[in-house]
Structure 1
């Protein structure tokens, strides 16, 4: 490790940005900058940080809560101020905002640049290569399957609560020709402490094809597929309200994902080991060990997970009641299901259940990706599926880019 403080730039302005920034800035061996491209939001946050320290409330496993204080060095909307000399650049935003942050990073990217998607979501590497161009070969990319903790903002700019962490968080590392100033995985572990355990995958497609991508859209489908359109008086439970029929659909989608990973592993065209891709049941057992009171099957594993207990469906007001807000499905499609379908098409693995899910989701959000089983819809161009980036072979899939001739 080189001398001097670890320099971290946290990108974003939401609860996840507050969380990661507070974890980082509470460590005396770090210098934490926050890049929020929303200028008004950045100015507000900077003024608040100037007046007093941030507070991070952490819910412990034993039911107690502890608080730590954190003092970021700066909050700014100026990429040059935030990124100069940083050891790690951590994207904490929605996947829908990754593009604009990567575009802000691109002019400043160099052989020492380390970009972390926390989470990255499927297609993160394809997007990085596309936006950073030739500079991408110098950079190192990390992409994790979920946020490090679930969190909520208590007071914008001042107070964030860490609600719960996974036991393990798997992430990919794509190393460029440049040399990282600090070991990135070690740095992430240092700023977070003992939880979660950050574990590297063998290949970025291992993270891309983990079946957690299906969780939210399948549960939304299960809840609202037969909805009569009448407003509700209250929001239903999200995970703990899941039916056994929905769990079966999750199992089927999970198996389709495994078939795609097996096809790549056994391909004679590439040498990639994706045998660590888990089915959703095993994924939940490992990530939420200690939080599940009944692990008899996938349904009970999800509906008895204490971290999921109070989560409700996102709703909006209409006609004197509440109706589902399907807006979040756009991210689930463009940085999730459509990416997995694109990979499945290239390796020629049929995914009938995933296809039905995509068709339902795209209808709910007024988008078009899948048409007659092919990704030829008008909205494919805003997704992260490999076809959008001209990646049409197994070799291009595993390299993340089209090789120059």
Structure 2
């Protein structure tokens, strides 16, 4: 049997983590890293040279389980590592997906498993646009979130895993000429992760998009700051656990619009399974059942979710030691163009009205200095900077299933 090759794209917390875990769980495979950002490849390679025996030390929070692993190679040259890659994990922010996909495109071989970890909304659209006919011979796997909470302690040599999720949802979009079985694809990835998190198959890639955190972060931001008068705060407010009735109402209404979109897509496309798209309160009950002290309402579920203890709004400190919201943080900078704009685009294709989503989008784009939505239509001058399905030629719900 030929030696398997696993490629990790990225140089951040998640990339360090998956590179280390894969090297431990797959000792028979060659693990390589491709990072295109600045001098990360040189820095990481140098750290491996200076620490040749240990490589990356992984510390697991709350346990005595520490282990040392190392990738075979870290490079910024895709021609060296992509042609032999059987599985490619893309562990980079959504805004960097385009750069990496263009670097991968000339070298991706048949039956490659391309994994977005996580994907953010519209990843599949962008893959099809950039990889072209190669998407017919490979498979795109979309994960709803990162499997671990992790932080780099020392670049290239040390990372701490703060926690591992019990389960994680993933969809498989298999090319028409790919010879791998869907179950085998997820099994290969499960073996890379190890025992946890358990991968739960999501039947439809659109369900991963519709149930993304893009329907959570922007409404919470809008609920908190939509009518903010600009006065700096003396303390950083809680994010999830600080949700009040106003924010919870926006969350519920956006969730209702997302569920309505899923139902209409299923109605128009016979045989499509959208059962994984559920009201947000049900999603929390399913994913955080042992963490919710009170699940009587969405607001109380968020306020009492022990997994969210202490998480705060993204803030910037002023010169006098007070705090103002940071609207450049990923809750808006990523979750709008690579999130809610995509959700809005799907709703438009399905013919579903989204007045609350439109309200959140109009506010958020103003904070970003962008224009994606005009009234209730995606006709803003900055729409090409998003991953709205309309940018990729999708005109009907039927088009979403012609991969």
TM-score if structure 2 supplies the norm length? Answer: 0.92
Taking the aligned partners of 1:381 and 1:342, their CA distance within structure 2 comes to 12
Residue-by-residue CA offset, 1:206-246 (whole Å, 9 max, x unaligned): 11111532111122222222322233344222222222321
Aligned to 2:65: 66
The worse-fitting range, judged by mean Cα deviation, of 101-110 and 277-286 is 277-286
Contact 2:83 2:109 in 1 (8 A): no
Contact 1:88 1:184 in 2 (8 A): no
Aligned to 2:312: 312
Aligned to 2:299: 299
**CA separation of 1:65/1:256 partners in 2, compared to 1, >3 Å: closer, same or farther?**
farther
Q: Are 1:83 and 2:86 an aligned pair?
A: no
**CA separation of 1:7/1:262 partners in 2, compared to 1, >3 Å: closer, same or farther?**
same
The worse-fitting range, judged by mean Cα deviation, of 235-244 and 107-116 is 235-244
How far the C-alpha of 1:4 sits from its partner, in A, is 4.8
Aligned to 1:229: 230
Q: Are 1:7 and 2:2 an aligned pair?
A: no
Taking the aligned partners of 1:66 and 1:397, their CA distance within structure 2 comes to 44
Taking the aligned partners of 2:257 and 2:196, their CA distance within structure 1 comes to 31
Aligned to 1:337: 340
Aligned to 2:149: 150
Aligned to 1:403: none
SS at structure 2 position matched to 1:326: coil
How far the C-alpha of 1:270 sits from its partner, in A, is 4.5
Taking the aligned partners of 2:247 and 2:201, their CA distance within structure 1 comes to 31
Matches within 5 A, 1:342-381: 342-381=345-384
How far the C-alpha of 1:331 sits from its partner, in A, is 1.1
The worse-fitting range, judged by mean Cα deviation, of 118-127 and 4-13 is 4-13
Taking the aligned partners of 2:396 and 2:80, their CA distance within structure 1 comes to 40
How far the C-alpha of 1:31 sits from its partner, in A, is 2.1
Give unmatched runs, 5+ long, in structure 2: none
SS at structure 2 position matched to 1:206: helix
The worse-fitting range, judged by mean Cα deviation, of 230-239 and 374-383 is 230-239
Aligned residues: 394
How far the C-alpha of 1:5 sits from its partner, in A, is 4.5
Aligned to 1:256: 257
The worse-fitting range, judged by mean Cα deviation, of 246-255 and 291-300 is 291-300
Q: Are 1:383 and 2:392 an aligned pair?
A: no
Q: Are 1:212 and 2:213 an aligned pair?
A: yes
Q: Are 1:37 and 2:36 an aligned pair?
A: yes
Taking the aligned partners of 1:165 and 1:16, their CA distance within structure 2 comes to 12
Aligned to 2:397: 394
Contact 1:212 1:280 in 2 (8 A): no
The worse-fitting range, judged by mean Cα deviation, of 246-255 and 178-187 is 178-187
Contact 2:121 2:212 in 1 (8 A): no
How far the C-alpha of 1:75 sits from its partner, in A, is 1.0
Taking the aligned partners of 1:211 and 1:102, their CA distance within structure 2 comes to 21
Taking the aligned partners of 2:295 and 2:58, their CA distance within structure 1 comes to 32
Aligned to 2:283: 283
How far the C-alpha of 1:255 sits from its partner, in A, is 1.1
Taking the aligned partners of 1:35 and 1:45, their CA distance within structure 2 comes to 11
Aligned to 1:172: 171
**CA separation of 1:289/1:368 partners in 2, compared to 1, >3 Å: closer, same or farther?**
same
Taking the aligned partners of 1:387 and 1:346, their CA distance within structure 2 comes to 9
Taking the aligned partners of 2:279 and 2:157, their CA distance within structure 1 comes to 39
Contact 2:90 2:115 in 1 (8 A): yes
* 1:54 corresponds to which of 53, 56, 60: 56
